[in-house]
């Protein structure tokens, strides 16, 4: 098959109030997943639960808590959990898949996305989410289906609320967490060193017993990143280290951060850097970038992105502005959503097979046509969406600064932005289809287009695309 069963290229970053222009916390995440795995944006309302009730996760059932909080999450359609999401208290979490020293234990368990959603449903602060994720790992373990074990099945997280940001990294049932002072970020590699804030009980002892560190290592000198990092990683897994180095450049020494800066970070293709100078288009994905395309080393694609602005002193409805994008963000658009216990209905639907009425599939379809000739089609798409997004940002700033307390105003703005961006994407697809010639095709990306489109039932003109 053209596309790989392994995906390891998510990217998560956050800036605390000490590093942002307005004192809010700004969070950004690209969710990079299997090609053709739909990832709609979903809303789940707060609920009370009966004593003894259980919750069905992706592979196992676990005890439910008495009350779960409302949350918005970017949800791969085949799983219970989220790639990233935010709850009614403004707790925001994004996850990263990472290889560790050992494959997860061979028993049914939770997966990182399940743990993320469970933490959102059960936490009213970032610190509480750290505690809950640690408890879930220690109690149930991670790894999902024991018959399909792969090495990169540990999960790391960036956890934020309007006041604090934490990095959380795990290896099997061990974990370490670090409070972020200004900026924090993760790729698909371990990064927390001996400056952790908390460490799980037994993590140091396990590392000594298994020979990952010197038996003489003291707790204050324990370096989880070096202890847990695998020393014979596959070449494909090394891309996480490359993107982590890029994040260091994007996130340090650039304060104060704004939402637009975080959006641009998620679109990064090494613009202006020597590493970005290549004969191939970004769609060919020959270099591991923050904005992930399906054509090259990663075997996966940015399915959805978000930038969340989280405020500590604001009315409940303005506790966050959740800017959501679908498909690789370099040729997509971020739309705003608020803490009003609601999302447009059409955003919440997308399954295994293509449907023209699903916004997620529409933005993916647009990405595929752009890939057929990135140099020709991407500039017009970027121009259209950049102008629209800048207008949304300006309007959001005005509405948020002059809000009259009516939640309907926020709903109407979100609905209009979502509808306008969807219609623009459909118009751009029609425009590309109307001008596309066989001579335009980037032959390197042709197999990608035809195989994945056939795989999800996305129709195309076989007389032109051949």
Q: Which residue numbers are catalytic?
A: 10
Q: How far is CA 165 from the centre of its chain?
A: 16
Secondary structure (H, E, C), the chain? CCCCCCCCCCEEEEECHHHECCCCEEEEEEEEECCCCCCCEEEECCEECCCCCEEECCCCEEECCCEECCEEEECCCCCCCCCEEEECCCCEEEEEEECCCCCCCCCCCECHHHHHHHHHHHCCCHHHHHHHHHHHHHHHCECCCHHHCCCCCEEEEEEECCCCEEEEEEECCEEEEEECCCEEEECCCCCCCCCCCEECCCHHHHHHHCCCCCCCCCHHHCCHHHHHCCCCCCHHHHHHHHHHHHHHHHHCCCCCECHHHHHHHHCCCCCCCHHHCCCCCHHHCCCCCCCCCCCCCCCCEEEEEEEEEECCCCCHHHCEEEEEEECCHHHCCCEEEECCCCCCHHHHCCCCCCCCCCHHHHHHHHHHHHHCCHHHHHHHHHHHHHHHHHHHHHHHHHHHHCCCCCHHHHHHHHHHHHHHHHHHHHHHHHHHHHHCCHHHCCHHHHHHHHHHHHHHCCCCCCCCCC
Report strand pairing: 25-33 vs 54-56: unpaired
CB 310 within 8 A of CB 320: yes
C-beta of residue 465 within 8 angstroms of C-beta of residue 446: yes
Please name which of 142, 122, 157 lies closest in space to residue 44, comparing C-alpha atoms: 122
């Amino acid at each position: 098959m053209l596309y790989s069963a392994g995906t390891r290229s998510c990217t998560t970053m956050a800036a605390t109030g000490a590093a942002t222009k307005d004192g809010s916390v700004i969070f950004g995440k690209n969710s990079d997943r299997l090609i053709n795995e739909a990832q709609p944006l979903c809303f789940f309302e707060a609920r009370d639960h009966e004593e003894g009730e259980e919750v069905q996760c992706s592979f196992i059932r676990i005890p439910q808590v008495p009350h779960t909080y409302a949350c918005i999450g970017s949800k791969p359609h085949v799983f219970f959990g989220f790639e990233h999401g935010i709850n009614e208290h403004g707790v925001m979490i994004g996850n990263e898949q990472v290889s560790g020293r050992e494959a997860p234990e061979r028993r049914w368990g939770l997966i990182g996305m399940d743990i993320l959603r469970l933490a959102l449903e059960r936490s009213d602060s970032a610190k509480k989410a750290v505690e809950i994720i640690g408890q879930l790992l220690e109690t149930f373990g991670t790894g999902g289906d024991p018959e399909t074990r792969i090495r990169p099945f540990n999960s790391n997280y960036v956890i934020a609320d309007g006041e604090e940001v934490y990095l959380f990294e795990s290896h099997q049932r061990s974990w370490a967490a670090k409070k972020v002072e200004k900026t924090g970020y993760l790729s698909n590699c371990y990064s927390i060193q001996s400056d952790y804030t908390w460490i799980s009980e037994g993590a140091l002892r396990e590392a000594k017993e298994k020979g990952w560190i010197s038996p003489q290592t003291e707790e204050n000198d324990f370096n989880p990143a070096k202890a847990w990092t695998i020393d014979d990683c596959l070449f494909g897994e090394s891309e996480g280290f490359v993107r982590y180095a890029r994040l260091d450049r994007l996130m340090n020494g650039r304060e104060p951060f704004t939402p637009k800066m975080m959006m641009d970070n998620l679109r990064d293709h090494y613009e202006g850097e020597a590493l970005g100078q290549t004969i191939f288009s970004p769609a060919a994905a020959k270099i591991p970038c923050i904005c992930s395309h399906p054509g090259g080393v990663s075997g996966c694609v940015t399915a959805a992105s978000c930038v969340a602005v989280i405020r500590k002193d604001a009315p409940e409805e303005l506790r966050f502005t959740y800017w959501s994008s679908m498909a690789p963000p370099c040729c997509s658009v971020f739309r705003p959503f608020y803490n009003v216990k609601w999302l447009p209905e059409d955003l919440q639907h997308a399954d295994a097979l293509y449907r023209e009425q699903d916004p997620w599939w529409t933005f993916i379809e647009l990405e595929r046509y752009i890939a057929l000739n990135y140099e020709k089609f991407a500039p017009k798409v970027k121009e259209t969406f950049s102008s629209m997004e800048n207008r949304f940002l300006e309007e959001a700033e005005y509405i948020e600064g002059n809000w009259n307390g009516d939640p309907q105003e926020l709903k109407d703005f979100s609905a209009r932005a979502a509808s306008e961006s969807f219609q623009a994407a459909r118009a751009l697809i029609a425009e590309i289809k109307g001008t596309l010639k066989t001579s335009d095709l980037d032959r390197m990306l042709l197999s990608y287009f035809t195989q994945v489109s056939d795989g999800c039932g996305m129709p195309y003109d076989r007389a032109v695309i051949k």
